[in-house]
Chain A
Amino acid sequence: MKRPLGLTCVASPPLAQAGTGAGVVHGLVSLTTGTPGPPLGLELKVARVCPNDRGLPVLGDAFRALADATGARDSVIFAGRHSTGVARAGPEPVHALRSPWPDLIGAFSGVASLLGGQDEGRVAWLMLVVETAVTDVSPATIQALQGLVDLGAGVDIICTHPAADMGLLSRLAQRTGGELLQASAAEIVDRLLRRVALLRDQRVRAARLEVRSPRGVRIQRVFRVEPSPAFVGLLPSSVDAPLVLPVGPVAADAPPAWLISAMTPGRGPGRFRLFDVSLRYEQGGEQLGADAFAGQTLVAEPPKMLPVEGAVNAALARVDTAAWIEEIARAYASHDARRVAGLLDRLVRHAVTLDDRPLVSRAFDLRLSFLRTGHLEATDLNALRRHGAAAARAAG
């Protein structure tokens, strides 16, 4: 049967010597696009929100242009997901919220209550524009965000404030399968339109991707590799619970992929499963799915030739750029100047191995400026993040 989505999973290293104690393995989980099938017929919907919301984005000229282009009149845009049998015409206001949303918690909670009141599966995507310098979120915000995830809604965050913590916003968006779109006012309309077009072009619904590991294999961290590298940081809620990866919209030219790092226990020779991955989704009212697994062989003697999974290692090198930058941000937040200087130096050398000269120059200049002044701006870090993401895309 023709299927719109496939699944692959490979692990690195595929072969190691037994009896050397605990080890680190990396798994690359990738979706592959097959026969697409008809689009789901997504429509753009608009939710009216209270006009004096301080925490919600203020519409700028560029965003108003987008609103004109899409018919949206307010700052929260929904891509409504309808079953093909229920046709609805044109964008229209579907809800009005009167309670103020003073911050992201309010925004996420309010939208969750908004979505919860609708028909199941009708609204699936939220685009939230942040124009304030968000630098911290509380556990309550995460909880509110989780409410959106539970409702099956993804969140794209569009950030236009140069000093907002883009790393944090990116992680928030990643948790729902969404993306952080970093764009200047001049670029934002184009980025949003492209994103909306991608959302409208989806062919599957209710996609759920689960990763299970056998007992003893402990997942440590999760990165998204495609369409752009970012730290996700989702972990299973318990030892036996699967890791649920937020799928998000699937673009044909860059289907999503994730990198999972895990610790393995010290074991004797043999073949061992590391990751079992299952994908379930719906198309045309039919439940479809795909399964894959990756394993590792442990041998008693040191192997003469080292089998390597180049694709996994290449993905690891790409996400390392994002990891280094976030580590620099953490070190700076904890006022550890020595560590910031050391990490900037390492980032330079890492960028050198990727042969990305713009990122090398940017990081090198930042290091130089930090050594001379001891000062680092949030905008510098965001510029580095943008360069890092661009570099990783180029490397891929």
Chain B
Amino acid sequence: MASATSADTFPNMSSLGEAHIDGERRLPAQPTNPVMETRDLNVFYGDFHAVHDVNLAYGRHEITAMIGPSGCGKSTVLRCLNRMNDLIAGAHVEGGVLYHGQDIYEKNVDPIAVRTQIGMVFQKPNPFPKSIYDNIAYGPRVTGMKVDNMDDLVEEALRGAALWDEVKDKLKQSAYGLSGGQQQRLCIARTIATKPDVILMDEPCSALDPIATARVEDLMLELRNEYTIIVVTHNMQQAARVSDRTAFFTARPDETTGNRTGLLVEYDLTSTIFSNPNDKRTEDYISGRFG
């Protein structure tokens, strides 16, 4: 079965991902002038060493995918990028996370200010129990953004998330009346309403059906023109379809305690990772031979 999976992966990738792999986009081998970087990032939850020495650079207006098996620390790394890990009791970060060269974990950095620049879309659609309009307007309101006309901003955000035509007649209705895929696009609209620089996505399609997934993926490709997107995904086809670069993580059990620590195995252009990976572990995972 493993070989069948690998055989499936390649046609999918080449047929759907062709338009934006490096051949077309002509991306440099390494991101020049990256928006964000992690330098020797180590994350601990209490005594548990969750992530070991991750060095990654995220290119401007690129989609970077982080893939790997469960427990490999990819979501943990993602949540470090806008300091969402601060909210977990006992979480502790060593090393640096640079945003335009500035370490966001430095003492004088306000995590609230970080999150207004680096937005996040979650695994499960999490609209607020408010109207569609208020879901979008919430971010600009709480961050004190100067808004000339909130109606225009709401429309712009909903258009940006390809949701406007579906909801323009029911802006005052509860967001809970939307379908799962619409809710997730609403969450993306909510994020872009605050005009962030980077959008983090934590398995944004794992709770969606294939049609809704395809729409969100199309949206990601559109958003790439204006934003830098970093996405964690379980779905390798998705990484192959949408991302410019892919980072493969895996988990290594500690010899004494047996705790699994996540580490970065390989980071390269998506086309390279999915066609010609350097590391055997990457190849095994991509081709479905991973244990």
Say if A and B assemble together: no
